[in-house]
Every structure is written in C-alpha cells, then in structure tokens.
Homo-oligomer: A and B are copies of this chain.
Amino acid sequence: MIIPVKKRIQIFDTTLRDGEQAPGASLTPEQKIVLAYKLVELGVDVLEPGFPVSSPGDFAAVETISRMVQGLEICGFARAVKGDIDAAVRATQDANRRRIHLFISSSDIHLRHQLRKSRPEVVAAAREMTAYARQFCEVVEFTAMDAARTGIDDLIEMVEAVIAEGASIINLPDTVGYALPQEYGEMFRRVRLGARGGDSVSYSAHCHNDLGLAVANSLAAIAGGATQIEVTVNGVGERTGNCALEELVMALETRGDVLGAETGIVLDKLYETSRLISGAMHFPIAYNKPVVGRNAFQHESGIHQDGLLKDRSTYEIMDPERLGIPRSMIILGKHSGRHALKDRTAKYGITLAPTELDALYETFKETADRQKVVSDDQLLQMVSQATGQQAQVYELGEVQVLAGSAERRVAAVTVHHLKSGLETSHTSTGDGPLEAIIAAIGQGIAENIDFVGLELHSLGSGENAQAEAAVMVEWEGLKFRGTATHQDIIMAAGIAYIAACNSALLSTLALNDSTT
C-alpha cells in the first residue's frame, strides 16, 4: 500500500498583529507575551507578534517575545520604508529564527487612491526596500497588498522584482476579502509559473472573510501551490477578520486525504487557545462558530440526536474530544426526544422507570415549549419533582445585588444544601455585580470547586428579554459547565454558577455510586 506524502503547510499566526487590528480587540504587551507562549504550545510555525513601528508598546511586545519565546520563527511586520524595517529588525534581533515581513500595495485602486504613486515608483520601492531588509535578515517575506485585486501582469512584475532582490516568501493576500476560490488559486498558479524565479521561492496566502470565503480561498491557494497560510485564532482581524486558524486546520485534518496537505498544529490545544484569546480580546465567540463555537458539537433536532446516540459519525465529522472540547453535550430543547432525556439523566446516575420517564418528558416538553433551552439544572429539578429522587445538591435562595456608580458592588445570597436542609446566608462585595454574586455564592458551597470563567449575553431589555449565562467550574481536575437563562442578567449568572457546581458534584456522586 502506498501512503501518499502530504504537503506540510506552514501555519503563520498573525492573531497578535492582524488579529489585534480587529476593532475593539487590542491587547496589551503583557497579554501578547502570555498568548505567544500559548501559540507555541499550539504548534504554529511562524508568529507575527505585532507591528513594531506602530507604537512603543507593540515594539516592546515583539522585542520581548523575540527574546523569550523559543521554538518558532518570529516575524517583524513593516511597510516598505526604512523606518519600519529598522524597527522590525531591531525588535526581532534576539529571536532564534526570524523573518522580516515587508508589504506594499500592488493594486491600481491602492496605488491611485492611497499611495498616490505611479507603478514604477512603487515597484522601485518594493525592490529597494527588499534589498535593504535583506542586508539585515536572511529571510524576507514580501506581501503585495491587495494582490487579489491586482492585474496579473502587474503582480508578476512586482513579484519578479522582489525575488530578484532576495525575498524568499511571497505572500499574495486577499486584503479586502474579494476573491473567489477558483480565481484566488489561479493567481498563485500564474505567478508561480509566470514570474522569473517564481519556482525558487515559497508562497503564502492571507485571506479575509468579508464574503465568508476565507477558508475556501486558503484551501484554493494550497491547491495553487501555497505552502504557508496566514491565519488568526477565532478568525479575528480587520473588519470580518482573517482566515480562522481552527477552521483551516480542521478542514485539512478532516479532508487531508483529498487536499493532500497537513499542518503541525496540536489539535487538543485548539479549544483552550480559542477561549484564552476570546477572553483576552473581549471578543465573544459566536454560538455557531465552526470548530470552537458553543453549538459546534451540539445537536438539537430529534432526528439528529437519535442518529448520534446510535453512531456519532451520522452527524459529526470531527471528534470534539480530540480538540480538547469537553465531550459533546446535547443541548436539551423543544426538539429533544425521550432518548436524549434518558441519556442525560443517566449521566447523573439517575435510572428512570418507563412511567417516570413519561412523566418527566411531559413536564420537560411544557418547559421546553416556553423557553429556548432546558439547562441541566432545570432538568434535575424536574427529576426531583417527577420522581422524588434528589437530583440537586445546592439551590439558590434569595438574592439581592446592588450595582451602580459606587466604587464597590455588593451581593447577599442564601444557599440551600438540600440533603441536610441547611440554609446559609452570605455577603460579598466586588468590582462588578457579577464578581460580587459569584463570590457570595462561592462562600455557600462547602466543596472546594474553582470558578473558571463566565460568559454572559443579553440581547434586549423588556418583558421578552432573557439573559443567557454559562459558567465553567473545575472540580477534582475536571471541568463542568452550567447554563441558565433569566430575565435578570445578574440572576442568570448566579443560577448558572450553582448549576455548574451541581453538575460537578452530581457527576462525582454518580461516579462514586457506580464504583462502590
């Protein structure tokens, strides 16, 4: 049997440069350093940590990362002007392996309206600045900005010029997210075959997602001969962002046999890297974001849920556990059937007689018709009511939280421990009302459960508005998630936290019950 050799694609991560250019997503130099370490763990090949000339903070970040972060190539970004190149050269000088990444516009639109220079002037600048950068650094990547909107002959002329001066990586970006896959792949083919020296260098793609085509265009570039793809985690970046690292990597992983290509990304770091960067950038991940979104491995319709319980391959093409995602939880909602209910309650060690399941299903359907999602916590309350089986450990009682313009916010809560009947009251202050309520509830939980994180969304105010909260906790090395929806956004957070604690404690109990 012949195993065809897959082309190894270099993953060039620009989360900390182009990604950080996402409006509202800027990072401090300290955050960039933390994230750079994470990106090394993730296995990216080239890291672009910033644009050194753009600010002292960005310079410092690139400089520090070049000194401290080992195991990948560090890239200094620069316009094709001496000041930028000097800054990029200085900032990256302590890197083990480094490259200078020069860019200048190549399209008529950019030359006419932005640069306001003639094509010969721009080509000359590209040539001279490539030669200038090569004096300081062996590896120079050259980007013809807006390549996808550049006439092919103009593009070849510019690429030939910089190859002649020693650029060894040619990046042909779709700067404005305009290209279609076939034409984008074709551009690589034509430049590679048409430019003098075109077969002596390597090619890079850099795509934006304005029309939802960034991943497809990147794959088309690989088919056209590109061996490096520039990406960002979560697809953050200017406007609608760049090609998402996790989508490209999983497309290659899932369909690598057809695509004939693979990456060196450590798959089981994908999910935690995505969450870390989302938090640092205050950039929420869409529920329906491919690969790392809340719903990526969740299935609502009864038909899909039934199929999954029979065999996961019926409706899942990737294994979430390989990506570091806690095992696919089917969200319970109005489309869920008895199968899904039975399966979920069994996870908490609850065995239901057929009549009990029927009774539970009826209550469940009523609730599910009224609200979007039935959280585990609510389900366990229903089990208690329908069967008399105790399926909760803690319950949130009275809550008062004071928010506003004062320096500290204050929360008072009552927590019931159902088994013992114990009811305790706790108060706490915090910088925000969420911090205050989480701290107060935490005092009422006897077990040593760590609060890991919280996501909270609200899309309205008024009678129909519901806030949706998800809280993650850690208990004995395992992560558990609790969710809640409530018309009071602060209550949603508190209930989700209690739900997460209950999930943790009950699945441990279930585990203990089955092993003793």
Contacts and interface: CB of A to CB of B under 8 A. Distances in A.
Interface in A1-43: 21-26
Contacts of A333: 23-24, 26
Contact of A177 (B113, B178, B317): B317
Contacts of A321: none
Contact of A210 (B220, B307, B317, B491): B317
Given A307-B113, A399-B404, A209 B434 contact: no
A283 B460 CA distance: 11
Nearest to A304: B238
A76 interface: no
A459 interface: yes
Nearest to A411: B404
Contact of A466 (B282, B313, B485): B282
Nearest to A234: B288
A173 interface: no
Interface in A425-471: 430-435, 438, 451, 453-463, 465-468
Nearest to A220: B181
A403 B486 CA distance: 12
A432 B467 contact: yes
Interface stretch (A292-300, A341-349, A382-390): A292-300
Chain A interface size, as a band, is 35 or more
A377 to B, nearest CB: 15
Q: In the complex this chain forms, how many copies of it are found?
A: 2
A110 B398 CA distance: 49
A141 B317 CA distance: 26
A224 to B, nearest CB: 12
A273 to B, nearest CB: 15
A8 B378 CA distance: 48
A370 to B, nearest CB: 9
Contacts of A241: 288, 295
A139 interface: no
A337 to B, nearest CB: 10
A261 to B, nearest CB: 12
Given A240-B293, A258-B183, A457-B456, A316 B435 contact: no
A26 B403 contact: no
A180 B290 contact: no
Contacts of A295: 22-24, 239-241
A505 to B, nearest CB: 21
A325 interface: no
Given A210-B317, A212-B216, A432-B488, 5 more contacts: A113-B307, A175-B315, A239-B295, A284-B284, A400-B402
